[in-house]
Amino acid sequence: MSIISYIRTIADYPKKGVLFRDISTLFLDPRGLRKAIDGLVMRYSGAGIDKIAVIEARGFLVGAPLAYTLGCGLVLIRKKGKLPGSTIGEDYALEYGTDRIEMHDDTIVAGEKILLVDDLLATGGSALAAIRLIEKNGAEVYETAFLVDLPDLGGSKKLKASGYSVFTLCEFE
Ligand code: PRP
Ligand code: HPA
C-alpha cells in the first residue's frame, strides 16, 4: 500500500470547507509507520546529516525515529514558551492564524548540516520560520522533508523559490 492510503481525510476540520489530511491513521498502523520512516531513512542514510530539526508537535513523531535510525541529534523547535533554556524565536503565519516558534540558542552550531523534518507542508509558514531559526545560528539547511505535501497551499513552491530542496513522500491535490 502507498503512504497516501494510510492517511485519512476529514472534511470540515478545523473549519468548514477544509479537507484535513489526518496522519494519525498512518501512525496507528505499524505498516504505515514503517513505510514512512523507511522512506526517509533510505533517502538520508549516508548523507552526512549532523542534526535533524523538528517542528512541534507532529513533526516530533517523524523526526525522532529518523534521528534514532540515522544516528544524529534531534533539535526541538517548539511553540512559544515551552523550552526552559535561552531561546531564539520567529513569528510566522499559519493556514489557520499566527504563531511563534522557538529553539534553544545553543542547539545548532555554525557549519552544521541540518535536515528539517515535519509531518506536513501546507503554506510553508512553519518551515520557513524554522529555516530562519536554523540559519540564524549559521547552519546549513541540507533539505526539508515531509510525509505529506498539500501543493495547492503553495508551501513547496515557496520553499523551492527561496532556494530550498523539498522532499515529500506523498501529496494531496
Ligand atoms: C501543522 C503541521 C505543520 C504545519 C504546516 O502543525 O504539523 O507543522 O501545520 O502548515 P504550514 O505549512 O502552513 O506552516 P500545527 O501548527 O497545526 O501544529 P501541531 O503539529 O502541533 O498540530
Ligand atoms: N492536515 C494536517 N495538518 C494540516 C493540514 C491538513 O490538512 N493543513 C495544515 N496543517
The pLDDT tens digits of the residues spanning 84-103 come to 999 999 999 876 678 999 99
**C-alpha span between 21 and 2 (Å, rounded):** 15
- Domain extent listing, the chain: 47-171
> Is position 135 annotated as part of the catalytic site?
no
Atom of ligand 1 nearest to the CA of 150: 12
**Per annotation, catalytic residue among 43, 56, 95, 132:** 95
| 6, 16, 18, 20, best to mutate for ligand 2 pocket (most atoms within 8 Å of CB) | 20
> Is position 95 annotated as part of the catalytic site?
yes
CATH level 3 topology of 47-171: Rossmann fold (3.40.50)
**How confident is the model over 55-76, as a mean pLDDT?**
98
Identify the pLDDT of residue 95. Answer: 62
Q: Buried b / exposed e across 43-78, counting CB within 10 Å, b at 16+?
A: ebeeeebbbbbbbbebbbbbbbbbbeebebebbbbb
What phi and psi, each to the nearest 5 degrees, are found at residue 78?
-120, 160
Identify the pLDDT of residue 164. Answer: 98
Identify the pLDDT of residue 39. Answer: 98
**Per annotation, catalytic residue among 43, 56, 58, 132:** 58
Identify the pLDDT of residue 94. Answer: 75
Q: Quick check: CB of 20 below 6 Å from ligand 2?
A: yes
Confidence category of residue 3, pLDDT binned at 50, 70, 90: very high
pLDDT over 80 (residue 11): yes
Mean pLDDT of the chain: 96
Predicted complex: ipTM over 0.90: yes
Confidence category of residue 47, pLDDT binned at 50, 70, 90: very high
**C-alpha span between 47 and 59 (Å, rounded):** 20
**C-alpha span between 83 and 55 (Å, rounded):** 13
Least confident among 4-18, 95-109, 137-151: 95-109
